Every structure is written in structure tokens, then in C-alpha cells.
Amino acid sequence: MKRTMLCLLALSFTGFWILRTNASSHREAPLISNDPQADNTDVYAFISPDRPDTVTMIANYVPLEEPAGGPNFASFGDDVLYALHVDNNGDGSDDVSFEFRFKTHIRNGNTFLYNTGPITSLTDPDWNVRQTYSVTRVTRHGRPEVLGEEIPTPPVNIGPRSTPNYEALANAAITALPDGVKVFAGQRDDPFFVDLGSVFDLAGLRPFNPLHVIPLPAAPGVDGVAGFNTHTIAIQVPTAQLVGSGPTIGVYASAHRPKVTIRGTPGSQNTGSENTEGPWVQVSRLANPLINEVVIPLAHKDRWNALDPENDQQFQGFYTDPEVTRLENLLYPVLDDAPTTGRGDLVAVLLTGVPTLNFTGETTSDFIRLNTAIPPTGPVGTGNRLGLLAGEFAGFPNGRRLEDDVVDIELRAFACGYGPVVGPIVASFGFCAGNANRTPNNLLGDGVDQNDKPFLTTFPYVASPHQGYDHRHHGQ
Amino acid sequence: MTRTSWRSSPRHRSRVKVLAATILAAGLAAALPRMNWHHPERVVDSMSIAPAVGMPGAPTTSADGLRQRIADMENRLRERPHDGGAAVLLADALLRQGRVTGDGHPAARAAEVLRIALEDNPGSYDALRLLGAIDLSQHKFRDALDVGRRARDLRPGDAWNYGVIGDALIELGEYDQAFDAIDTMARLRPTAGAYARVAYARELCGDLPGALHAMQLAASATASRDPEAQAWYASQLGELYLRMGRLDDAEREYRRASFMFPDYLLAMVGQGKVMAAKGKQDEALAIYLQQLRRTPTVDLASRIGDLYAGHGDTAQAEHYYQLAEDLAGPPIAQTDATLVLFLAEHDRKLPDALTLGKSIAAMRSDIFTEDALAWTYYKTGRLKEAFSASRRALRTGTRDSQILRHAAEIEHAYHATS
């Protein structure tokens, strides 16, 4: 008893003095691992409408970037390897890939400011913190070829004083590389559109609010990504340089950071850094939208992100027995319950390609599959938002265009609400228990149907970034 | 039961609500492309409230952002005292706040709200995981180790827990196990937190260039929306440059930290250390005095006393040495060897210092505790014990200048007498 009292006394003393003295004298590095620079947000792949002999691939990084991001503006990571990968024979592994490495240049070491005057050109001496990058093409059997080095990126869009005439700066950063390849890397408007606020709230879809198990009045969707920027890597490549024997290619994007260990190779001591920085570790990958978010369960996400698509067979069960469908059935009693097991249709759409459209063989791997033989329907931004579901074979899930409303398309696909064009075809394969055009499943949507900014009709197609100066965001 | 009856009956509705929430908590969310779903450690069970501070869609970790988040979540807890999600978000922001000022009060409040959250919901993984970090900041290393291991067993794929385990083991001096945990953390996912721990481990092993490189990777892997972490990493780079004698580089990094987060404690004290190392005693003294008014610590009072002693002002020196002792509190409050080393370095209360040093060394055997003990043995004339404690302080291969200086003197004296 006495001992307990003493212990208690000791504890309270310790607590008191810890408050008085520096409680953080030991080295507590932050534990949280928010790494937006190495975080894929979206990947797009489509035939360039204005250069139809080329494919445009777009990989976005840095989620929900606030336009007013100073003094420490968002950028690409100097220690990140960014890559876009193309599989052209359906085996799930890279045949052609493009690697991007960024390098920050500080012009004036005496200031930490991004700029010390208006930035009027990509070589403006007032622009203090610039980034350039290199592009390397890696083919399966060839040596890596550096296609370009010291390629400029535009500054971030700060405001009328720092970045007047922003469009000219951005256009100057579009760079032609050898072999007809074009690249752009820099800040852009985030082209994705989704009602984040509502879907975050127990999978709410505002137009369907009265039909949710916790009903609310119906309301139009609110684009939760509107007004946010992102960092875009866009590359346009002649189709002939990407395809194999067939016209369909698979595309995914990734981000990698260097592997480190404390001690060097066994037997060596105090080796310094050179022996302990191993190869790259993939920390993020992305192809089809929302897979990482809604298909792969939480406990598997880090491993899924670290693996290449050729290893995706092990995750197939999450596609055939999707939790999303179970949730849709549960939360929206009005829906015609879609099967929650044996969903071969989702395997086709997301892992092997759709027969006669963009099927690449039996290997199951998460790629955006693009049949390059299907011509675009019109300029960027003019396609039907429902893509294939609306009968547009040039739209998602054949590739992914900027205007494709992938949230609505996937919500409907998971609920076996493929619509009148695709539904009967899916059902003819025996999927969705014979009914793939269920109602009202074929009307599901978050009520956000287009991006907040119009897309460009020429490369890099993604709209210019929102400007920090005139931008107020979300009460932050 | 028909579906319409679910909607019309509140009881059933709440059942569905719970069921739906359970499914969500099990890892399913609807179309959430970019909130915090990519990685499990980003998801708090407060997911219906907001992402953690510094994350996309949340306030940044600037002074204003932290204040705003703390006020918001305190308000929310006043309205709903058992809101576990708000407790986790509040504790997370308080932990950051504590690091900004070096003040222990925020961590104490964080521990309190997490304790309530865990009483309400003992299965709350996010509260448990965060408790490990709070325990660390309160120097409850054994508790942190225990919590970290429990959380690791629940989610072996979550890198966070290996960080908690590694930090606790390093403080306890169990380096082999600590390094294994940190390597596991870095292998699972190389993040800023993992790089920084690799850096510190390398520094302990005497590999300063390797430490610098890993810390640079950490700094560059930090979100621009996280100025608090940016300032922390820049300050650590400053420390490393200081240890390497690269004073201008150190000064630049400390200034960068202050630019990222004005008045960041580590950065301000660091600038004082650079001034002292450059022989600019007056500038150093001014900085230390200013910071001491803000956050009174043993370290600052001791440094100020040393500067006055260097000027020959023994009265002022004694004033601040006494303040250092007062700030340290009674022996029972000591969780590390800071006070022991202070007493031994300044030839104060040496018998007490030795008693205290031995009792701390019974709790933890990290190299800094062993060094303080060795130096106290030396000052009290017990060369044999000093020598063997000093050997233990050198066991990781550290290049720490103070440990090396003590070891050299002890070894010299030991061999001279034996």
C-alpha cells in the first residue's frame, strides 16, 4: 500500500515537472506520413483529338492543392521517381515506360522566398525557386534513353503581381522532345470532379438523399475538388511507339522514393549514405480511378501500392465480391440489389479489359486500357460524360478522358446499372445475374457532372491552375 | 422486415447506421478519391469529421492552423464529450503544438482526451496508436513501447507503430531491437518519419554524412501544407550541420525553419547555438534569454549560465545555474540524465548527482545516460566505474563530441592511475 502511494506520488511529481520542463527533449520525429508529392491522384489516357496519331497520358500528383499555398508552394519532389508505364502485350508488365526526375534550383541562397519580383519568363531572375526535369524512356529490351534534360516547369500561379500573364508562362513550358514526343509538367487545375463532402458522409449522393437509409432532402451535387490545383505530368507520344502487335495498351502511373536502411551491407560499418541507399520503393500507383479508394481494403493498401499490376491476381477477390456493391445495396434500399459475388463484369472492366473493346488477355492487372484503334469523338471536353455507358467507345473504360464522369460510371457499374447500351451486352455474358441494366441503379450519380474549369483543346488539355491571389477556399 | 420499415423506424435506422458505420470503419468508403484513403495510417476513425491537421482538405500546421484546429475540436468535445474522432484530431494537433513551443501542457491535455476516448471505446485503434506518440512525448518510454506493440499486433502493416516502438527502444538504450523496428518502418513505406528515424539511428552510430542524407530525404518528403514538420526537419538538419562544424549551413537551416514556422523553439535555440559556436556570445545570450522567457528549460538556463561564466560574471552564472536546478525539479521527477549531466559538468551536488545517475541508469541504458553516469563517476573519483560506463556510452560508435571528450578524459585518468 505504502509502495503504491509512493509510486503514485512519484508519477504525479513526474507529470508536474514534465509540464514545467521541456517535455520534448528527446528526438520525436513526426510519425504521420502525409506525402502528397508522391501521391498519385488520377491517371488519364486517350487518343489526342487534335493529333490523332498520338496518345496523351496524364498523371496527376499532390491531392487537393490550395491555390494560395505560400510561402512554401507545392512542387514535385526532387527525391521522387515519377513514372508512366505502358504494357502493350497484356502480360501485366512494362513494355515502355517514361520516367521523370525533378530538380529544384535556388537562384538566390540568401532568401527563402519563391520569387522576389514579377515572373515574366521561365528564365526570369526574380524567380528564385525553379524546377526542371528530365524524361527517360525505358523499353523492355533496350537501354534507358534520356529524351530530355533541364526541361523547364512553369511557376505556380501566385497572383497578378508575381505571375502576370500566366498562360504565356505555362505555354512556354510545353516542350517538344525527340521522336515526336511532347511533354508538360507543372501546376494545373485538378481536373477531377466528385462530391467529396457527401460521399465522405456515409456514401451520400445528394440527388439521391431521400432514398438513403438516413434520408435528407435532395440537393444538387457539390464538386469537392473545385477550386483545387494539382501537379500534372502530361506526355504525348506517337501511338506507333507505344503499341505492340495489337492496338490496345495498358497504362498506369507510379511514384517511388529511395529505400534506406540504418546500417550498410553486412560486415561494413559506418558506411555513409552511399552504400545504404538501395533501389527505389514504389509508394504509390494508380490506373483505374477509385480502385485504391473503394476496392482495396484499408489493411492492404500499402502493400497494393508497393506492388506492380502484374501481381494483381491476389486482389481479384476484392473485385469479384465488391464491398462497394454491398454498401450500395445496404444504404440505398430503393436499388435493385446487384450481386455481391461472382462479379466477372468488374474483372473485365477493371482487370482484363472488355471483350471486343479493349481485352488484353487473361492476365488480371489494374491498367487503364486504351484501344488506340478507336478514334476520338471530338475535341477534348466534348465527349459524353458517361463514356462507354453512353455508347461512346472512345470513353472510359476505354482509356480515360478528362471529361469522363468516372464516379457515376463506376457507381452504376458496381450496382449492375450499366444502362441500355452496355447492360444487355454485360448480361449476355451471364454477369449481374442476367440483368445488368437495373433501375434505378442505372441513374446513380453524385450530381457533379463536369469539372469546374473548361479543359483546353490542345496539349496539355488540363486547365490552367487557379490563382492564389483571387482565391478563397472552403473557409480555410 | 421490409426496407420501408427500416426507414420509418428510428430503432432500425440506428441499427442500420451502426452497421453502415461498421462497414465503413472496416475499410470501405464510397467514392473517396483523395481524402485520406490511400494509406491506413491516414485514416482516423474520425473520418466523418475531417482529415488530420496538415492533411489535404484540413487546416495546415501553421500556428494559425493549429490554433484553429485545437479550438474547433475543443468546442466539439464540449458539445459532445464522447466524440472519439474529435478526441483523436485534437490530440494530434496538441502533439504538434507541444513541439512548437517545447511546452508539456498540450501533451498532457492530449493524454487526457485520449484516455477518455479509450475508456469510451477501448477498441479505438487510432486513439491507441496516437497514445503511443503522446507517451513518448511525456517520456513514458515503457508505456509507449507497450502501446506501440499492442497497436502493431492489431495492424502489423502500419508503419507508424514501428516508429513508436523504435523511438521508445532508442530512449531505453535497446539499440539492436530499435534499429530493427526503424528498418521495418522504412521498408514498409519510406516516409519522412521513417527517413528521420534512420537519420537519428545513423547519427547514434557515428555516421553523420549518412544521417545528413537521410534527414535531407525526410525534409524533402514533407508536405508543403505541413510547416510544423518542415520546421522540425530543417531544425534537425541545423543540428546535424552544427555537429559537423558546418556553422553557416546550420544557420541557414535554422533560419529556414524560422521562415517555415516563425518562432519555432528548436530553430530559435539553434540559432543561439550557432552564434555561441561562432563566438558571438552577446547574440547567443540575447536569443537564449528571449527563449527562456518563453519556455524555461534546464538546457537554456544552463547555456545562459555558461555564457555568463565565460564572461567572468559568476553571480549571474550562479543565478542561472540555480534556475536550471529549480527548473529540473526534484530527483523523483527525472526521466533522463539532463540534470545529472548538468550537475556533473558544473561540479554541483556531486553525491546527489551520482545517486540520481545510478537510479536513472537502472531505468534506461541509452548512451547519453551512460555518459552522464560516467562523467559523474569521474567527478566523484570513481575511475573504474567511470571507465566502464564510458565504454558503454561509446558502444554504438557515436561521434558525439561531448561523449568523446568525456571518454578521452576518463580513459586518460583511468590509465594514469592503473
**Looking at chain B, which residue has its C-alpha nearest residue A19?**
B104
* Assessment of whether the complete model's pTM goes beyond 0.90: no
For B362, other C-beta atoms within 10 Å of its C-beta total: 9
In this prediction the ipTM stands at 0.85
In a domain, B91, yes or no: no
Nearest CA to A84 out of A350, A312, A286 is that of A286
CB atoms within 10 A of CB A55: 25
Q: Tens digits of per-residue pLDDT, B251-261?
A: 999 999 999 99
A455 pLDDT more than 50: yes
pLDDT per position as a tens digit, A442-453: 999 999 999 999
Q: In 3D, which of A61, A332, A106 has the Cα closest to residue B38?
A: A61
Contact list in A for residue B27 (CB cut-off 8 A) is 297-299, 323
Contact A185, A100 (CB under 8 A): yes
- pLDDT tens digits, one per residue of A149-169: 999 999 999 999 999 999 999
Instruction: Identify whether the C-beta of residue A62 lies closer than 8 Å to the C-beta of residue A333.
Output: no
pLDDT over 60 at B17, yes or no: no
CA B63 vs. chain centroid, Å, equals 18
- Average pLDDT of every residue of chain B: 87
Q: What pLDDT does residue B56 have?
A: 75
- Asked if B89 reaches chain A (Cβ–Cβ under 8 Å), the answer is no
Tell me the pLDDT tens digit for each residue of A41-67.
999 999 999 999 999 999 999 998 989
The whole-angstrom separation of Cα B75 and Cα B66 is 14
- Under a CB-based contact definition with an 8 Å cutoff, are residues A340 and A322 in contact? yes
A101 DSSP assignment: E
Measured in Å, how far apart are chain A's first and last C-alpha atoms? 53
> CA nearest B398 in A: which residue?
A270
Percent of chain A with pLDDT over 70: 90
C-alpha dihedral (B43, B45, B51, B53), degrees to nearest 10: -100
User: What gap in Å lies between CA A320 and CA A339, rounded to an integer?
Assistant: 10
How many other CB atoms are there within 10 angstroms of residue A426's CB atom?
A: 24
Q: How far is CA B273 from CA A89, A285, B247, B303, B311, in A?
A: 61, 43, 9, 9, 17
The chain-wide mean pLDDT, for chain A, equals 90
Cell numbers standing for residue A472: 478563397
Residue A28 has a pLDDT of: 73
pLDDT > 60? residue A269: no
Q: For residue A473, what pLDDT is reported?
A: 60
Model pLDDT, residue A472: 67
> Which amino acid belongs to residue B279?
G
The chain B residue lying nearest A406, using CA atoms, is B31
Q: What is the spatial distance between Cα A251 and Cα A235, in angstroms, rounded to a whole number?
A: 12
Query: Residue A203 above 70 pLDDT?
Result: yes
Residue with cell 499532390: A62
Q: Give domain status of residue B76, yes or no.
A: no
Count Cα neighbours of A277 within 13 Å in the Cβ-side half-sphere.
Answer: 17
Residues in B 228-267 with any Cβ partner in A closer than 8 A: 228-230, 232, 236, 252, 255-256, 259-260
- Residue-number span of the structural domain to which B417 is assigned: 329-418
Q: Which residue of A has its CA nearest to B366?
A: A26
Interface list for B 190-209 with A (CB within 8 A): 190-198, 200-202, 205-207, 209
Domain count, chain B: 2
Look at residue A111 and give its three-state secondary structure: coil
Query: Which pLDDT value is given to residue A368?
Result: 98
Place of cell 502576370: A164
pLDDT at A273: 43
| Residue whose C-alpha cell is 514526343 | A181
pLDDT above 90 covers a percentage of chain B that reads: 75
Q: Could you tell me if B335 lies within 8 Å of chain A, comparing CB atoms? A: yes
Euclidean distance between CA atoms B143 and B167, whole angstroms? 12
Q: Cβ A18–B56 below 8 Å, yes or no?
A: no
Task: Give the mean pLDDT of A4-33.
Answer: 52
Question: pLDDT tens digit string along B336-355?
Answer: 999 999 999 999 999 999 99
Confirm whether B267 is domain-assigned.
no
- pLDDT of B232 higher than 90: yes
pLDDT of amino acid A264: 65
Pairing outcome for strands A248-260 and A368-371:
antiparallel
Distance from CA of B388 to the nearest CA of A (A): 23
Q: B30 and A327: CB-CB below 8 Å? A: yes
Of A214, A298, A411, the CB nearest to B13: A214
Q: What is the pLDDT of residue A326?
A: 94
The reply to whether B356 falls in a domain is yes
Q: How confident is the model at residue A199 (pLDDT cuts 50, 70, 90)?
A: confident
- As a whole number of angstroms, the distance between CA B341 and CA A445 comes to 66
Residue A127 DSSP one-character state? B
Q: Is the pLDDT of residue B30 over 50?
A: no
Count of beta carbons in the 10 Å neighbourhood of residue B381: 11
Top residue of B2, B32, B38, B45 to mutate, by most chain A CBs within 10 Å, is: B38
Tens-place pLDDT, residues B45-68: 444 467 788 887 788 899 999 999
Q: Please, which residues have CB within 8 angstroms of residue A337's CB and are 6 or more apart in sequence?
A: A329
In angstroms, the Cα distances linking B362 to A71, A108, B367, B404 are 48, 52, 13, 23
Chain A and chain B share a number of CB contacts under 8 A equal to 338
Q: What is the pLDDT of residues A278-315, one digit of tens each?
A: 589 999 999 999 998 889 987 788 889 999 999 999 99
Residue B392 and residue B387: Cα distance in Å, rounded?
A: 9
Band (A34; pLDDT cuts 50, 70, 90): confident
Per residue in A396-411, pLDDT (tens digit) is 999 999 999 999 999 9
Q: How confident is the model at residue A26 (pLDDT cuts 50, 70, 90)?
A: low
Contacts of A23 in chain B (CB under 8 A): 98, 102-104, 107, 137-139
Residue B18 in contact with partner chain A when CB distance is under 8 A: no
